[in-house]
Structure 1
Amino acid sequence: MAVSIIVGSAWLGFSVSEHQGIATLRAESNHRLDLFASAVEGMVKRLEHVPATIQLSHDVLNLLRNPGNPRRVQAADSYLRRLNAHVGSMSAFVLNDRGVVVASSNADRSDDSRVGEDVSFRPYFLEALSGRVGRHFAIGVRGEPGYFVSHPIRDGARVIGVAAIKISLEPIDQTWQMVGAPALLADANQVVIHSSQPGWRYTALVDLPVERRVDLLLTRMYNSMRIRPFPLSPMLWIGEDGQLLDGPGPGGQQQMLRRATGTGMLVMSRPLDGMDWRVMMFLDLREVRTTAALNGMMASVLAAFLMLLALFLAQRRRIQRQRLESRALLERANADLEQKVTTRTRDLTAANDRLRKEVADREQAEQTLRATQSELVHAAKMAVLGQLATGITHELTQPLGAIRTLSGNALEFLKRGDMKTLSGNLGIIARLADQMGSIIHPLKGFARKSEPVPARTDVAVALGNALFLFGLRLRKEQVEVVNLCEPGAVVAWCDANRLEQVLINLIGNAIDAMADSPVKTLTLAADYEAPEPGDTVERWARIDVIDSGAGLDATTLAHLFEPFFTTKTQGAGLGLGLAISRDIAREFGGDIVAHGHADGGACFSLRLPAAASVQETVT
């Protein structure tokens, strides 16, 4: 049993370590493989645009339009020679619509002139002749491999020739070192066209079907080269994720190649963007498996240690069962501890009772403070009503005089039997009574003593009610009122009655501040304001009361909201209005700030939570 556990632990440790080692090796090699693939793409594809520019040459077009002219052939060869020297390709050449080379950058070289060659069998010529860009690897007739790129040459809508360029693969030899492992480059036929291992070149990674071999012979893509099987494994195939795998077919899940010696290799594969080529890297797993074997040995040693530890613990439990005498001592100690806990709990209970009493006293004090504040707020209301009594009396005197006159006339018309005129007088009396009711109604709501209840409050309505109470005084002192707040534009979350009291105090102070000003302008504005960092609401409703008075100096600003501080003459105010107004604003989560205005005068900004913001938070 013990031997089985140790052997199983060794096998499990080896398997887990091997799996993790392969995963780590794959992750570390992915970056190198990506860099190598990018380098290969840059070297091979950097000249793909060159054939498209050849058709812009008038020398080439003139040659294809009138072939056989030696002067035009020489001009086209000269242009291709200069172009090839500039871009650094192996050769650049032009074919007519029958696939015969009519001009070449190597025309002056007897060993690689290409002029007069018939390459109509090449796929890159057939692709370009059909109007598409041709790209593929091929071994030239002189045995030099290269990457051919072709482009159709059009004369209007007709393809009259093909421009082609041959790109060398030799620069890739300088990039094998960045891979740090055997690597290869395979084309769309799964044939190795370049490799850091010379013996791997022109071998097939998969078994090529007979029909495919016939096509390769017809197109002479690999010239007369015989394509041999890849030396490492005869059963490679391309999986759904693009990885090159070995095994019997799509049912296999292995990614390792086995040498004849049994040592495994990890295969990493990447397709090249825009090409049918694939880059592959072969990583030796001997080091990974050596580490996995060491870890398996350590796992077996750990399993043996754990088994010995289990035997030690079992022996220890048997010894502990022989020490039953210590239980009595532990029970007595436990009893002493419980007694101490009971004593401490009694003291804690007494302290908790004292704390509850203190909390109740503080709650009572807070209720008393709130009641006192409410009384103070109501007293401030009554003080404002007292100040406005003269104006309200004047507003009611005219309708009362008119009612008195019209009622006397009504009696006279009743005696005369003039019912039509009597009916008209009674209608006028009714309208005057409604007018008096509209004057008295805001005063009744403002003077009512009630607990503040937050609700949706239209700022424009509250400003209108506050301005109504100052109507006579504003007209008497010739104060121009600029009300920029439209009904329904700004809605705050507060008590409407308390908001009107704050606005009456701010408007009254603004009128007092403009008593000696040559220009008396009262500006009222309201808008929404974004919250600052740390605010608990999503949006503020801001109300600005701006006057054209003398403004506020630094000393006044420093003490403006202190109780009993006032800039008015003795007996004109107690200095509590702004302090009470700020307490009301803070009760609803807002505040009042004062500052000088850019055009002169003072600006008092009342900020309250916006109704929509508070309701969304509550919901």
Structure 2
Amino acid sequence: MALALIAAAGFWVYERSFAQGASSLKAASNGRLDLFASVVEARVRRLEPVPATIQLNPVVVRLLQAPSAAHALAANDYLSRLNAHLGSLAVFVLDVRGVVLASSNTALRDDSLRGEDVSYRPYYLEALAGRSTRHFAIGSGGHAGYFASHPIYDGPRVVGVAVIKIGLDALEQTWPMLGAPALVADANQVVILSSQPQWRYTSLAPLPTERRVDLQLAQTYGALRLPLFPLSVELSVNEDSQEVQGLLLGDEARVSAALGQARSRADFMVLGRSLDGMDWRVLIFTSLAAVRHQALLDGVGGAVSVAFLLLLALYWAQRQRIERQKLGAKRQLEQANAELEQEVGRRTQELTDANTLLRKEVAEREQTEKTLRAAQNELVHAGKMAVLGQLAASITHELTQPLGGIRTLSGNAAEFMRRGNHGAAQENLSIVARLVDQMARIIDPLKSFSRKSSSRPEATDVGRIVEQALFLFQLRLRHEKVETDNRCEPGRWIAWCDANRLEQVLVNLVGSALDAMRDAPRKTLRITAELRPEQEQVPLAIAIQVQDSGKGLSEADFAHLFEPFYTTKASGAGLGLGLVICRDIAAEFQGALQAHNVPEGGACFTLTVPLWQASLHPKTPVTP
């Protein structure tokens, strides 16, 4: 409600300020229009009576009565001196056929008019009919002007026509007094003068076909085609005051372009005046941007003022409410004290009963707290069992590969001992012992329950670790006829990581690759390594790629590849934790594990491990 009131107040102030600003702007524009109209009338209409005085000179009447070279020379001289004195463009005399017999501009070849037939001009036709006339037209020489004509009488008979052509160039210098785009339109609503050159000789309203034909026959505007005015304007004329008001129609871009201004809100006031006795209209296009901006500021100020008054009223009402609450509270307190003194005895018994009930509630609360504590202990125990189950499942998965290796190595050792090759059997048994130690280190996290075993990074020969991982799958590789392409030579790549954990990751990746190629027609296992450029957390890294020739990974596999308990193997063949464990191990030594499909078929897992650098890491012996 308050926001609506503030908005309404701001809108009301905005509308009132805009109306006042528009009224003031209109008054100022009307004042400039009155001044401009006075200037136009003073410079144009002051010469309108001149044609009526030309017949007073006898040389003009003699020329019309008896045309001759001598009479024409005398008339030309008279008209030339008259034109020079008046400052008009031309003064000339026509005979009843519409031919120019004398002109003030005989010295000008392009505008002398002598001998020219202008019987098609309206000023000739009207004057020949005995009526004085005046109108705008473009002369035969291409110069526009205001023509005024008057019949020349010889007694009651019209023997000729006197015409004066008044120039309008001086009016072009008066546009700055209007301070806005403006134009002057004649009786045909054709723009004859304008501060905007592109508006000149355009029609404010569509001209009927008959009117266009008449104008072309009279050559009022020469050979110009008179296109429509670039803006749509609706005008209304006050017949009493002769004031003209209008509205601009059209989109903002068109109006702004036509007015030669930057694209903004098309907000202009169109005002005008009808010039007395000339059938001309002066129109001025005044921008309302400043008025609207000031109205917007006033509206914001009004809204802020109303908001302040509302806040002040709210503060006063809140203060009055607080005072009433204080008085009410005081009365209630006095009444309560009186009632308390009267009911001390009864309240004492009630307090005793309440104490008894409170003791019972306290006992019940204590029992409830014991039950809640027991439930919390059960929840903690359940949480521990869940974590223990998850850790046990992870350890079980990690022990699968070392147990397989021990089974293979122990079988090989027994065979070597049966053959009497004790050296090979002893080497196999030493590897079994190392695998047993590795299993012991894997089982070690169970002792600390949820703590991960500490990783001890050291300089590790990646090639030797790869060979050790492949050695564990030696029997399976031969049995499944897998072609092995190991391009990771020992001694070439030295990584900074825990050797045991790196081997565990490679064992998992190799085992997953062999599982993926179980039903493949061509089984190829390729292991490569390369140096990768600097990354976000690893300055230099070794990228170990384990690539198989299986069917590759699907979109669903990529979406859930590193989620716990997600596996592509058959039910019971895996827990879906191997890749999760490998990713976590890689993250421990600031590495990463990624997967992608290769174009020739199969999947490729890329393990990124930090490169050992003597300048950054301690000089520890290389661990195979």
TM-score where L is the length of structure 2: 0.49
The structure with the larger Rg is 2
TM-score where L is the length of structure 1: 0.49
